[in-house]
Amino acid sequence: GYRITPILMMINIAVFAVMVLSGVNIMSPTGEDLVRWGANFTTLTRAGEPWRLLTACFLHIGVIHLAVNMMSLRYLGMQIEPLLGSWRFLVAYLATGLTGSLGSLWWHNIAVSAGASGAIFGIEGVLLALVMTNLFNDDVRKALLKSTLSVVGINLLIGISIGADNAAHIGGLIGGIVCGMAFYPGIRAELGWPVPQWMTARWFAIGLPVVMVLVTALLIF
């Protein structure tokens, strides 16, 4: 249950290492450097380079940015990947990284955005959605809900104070909540719990519009 998190961390670290070896400043890469390496630059993303929505999730704006995000990813991954399973965790990372990038693209007219924080907020969103179900007993649910909301709130406030891209954070969080709701029936089934037909239909009804919105956004941009 803990395989994808280290792989994602290694990919992020490797990308940053290659950037630095190519001459990018280790502490403060320029906007031009980030755009060249695939950051989510609104002008280019909207002009026919939608792949930036995903590549931006593996780029970081300096070694401190990388270190903070990788510590957060490791902490969350150790808790949540065993619960979700590796493939769901990977889907959550990629999907919420994408919704985070879309949130940034929607909010900003001209901006350069990069980092795994949208996906990290997305993983927190997955946990938030699952905490609201009966997967946990009341005491654990209350404790997890309190801690998760506190972490999300504090990180959003930090984002405001340092001028971080909270649009990407909120986009990732919303995507994570949707992913968590979509994953819930499958987790129930793996636990041997019955999955009512209405529940499957409900999550399908929620998930299908989200997929349609993402596909439409990719086609537009």
Separation between Cα atoms, residue 33 and residue 25, nearest integer Å: 9
Percent of the chain with pLDDT strictly greater than 70? 89
Angle at which helices 138-162 and 117-131 cross, to 10° = 150
102 within 8 A of 33, measured Cβ to Cβ: no
pTM: 0.88
- pLDDT bin (cut points 50, 70, 90) of residue 160 is confident
pLDDT (0 to 100) of residue 188:
86
Q: One of 101, 104, 113, 169 is an active-site residue; which one?
A: 169
pLDDT (0 to 100) of residue 106:
86
Q: Length of the chain in residues, anyone? A: 221
Q: Which residue has the tokens 């909270």?
A: 166
Separation between Cα atoms, residue 61 and residue 75, nearest integer Å: 21
177 within 8 A of 125, measured Cβ to Cβ: yes
* 97-106, 155-164, 207-216, range with greatest mean pLDDT: 97-106
Contacts of 19 (CB under 8 A, 6+ apart): 29, 33, 37, 59
Burial class of residue 151, CB neighbours in 10 A (0-12, 13-18, 19+): middle
Average pLDDT, the chain: 88
Residue 148 parent element (H or E): helix 138-162
- pLDDT bin (cut points 50, 70, 90) of residue 197 is confident
Q: Which region among 118-132, 161-175, 206-220 has the lowest average model confidence (pLDDT)?
A: 206-220
- pLDDT bin (cut points 50, 70, 90) of residue 26 is very high
pLDDT (0 to 100) of residue 206:
63
CA dist 41 → 33, 45, 201 (Å): 11, 6, 37
The amino acid present at 56, given as its one-letter code, is A
- Give the torsion through C-alpha atoms of 195, 197, 200, 206, to 10 deg: -140
pLDDT (0 to 100) of residue 165:
86
Catalytic residue check, 169: yes
Catalytic residue check, 65: no
pLDDT (0 to 100) of residue 18:
98
Residue-range domains of the chain with CATH? 4-220 (1.20.1540.10)
Could you report the per-residue pLDDT of 36-93, keeping only the tens digit for each? Answer: 999 999 899 989 899 999 999 999 999 999 999 999 999 999 999 999 999 999 999 9
Contacts of 33 (CB under 8 A, 6+ apart): 19, 24, 25
The 3-state DSSP class for residue 38 equals coil
- pLDDT bin (cut points 50, 70, 90) of residue 9 is very high
Q: One of 101, 104, 113, 117 is an active-site residue; which one?
A: 117
Identify the CA nearest to 172 among candidates 69, 48, 43, 46: 69
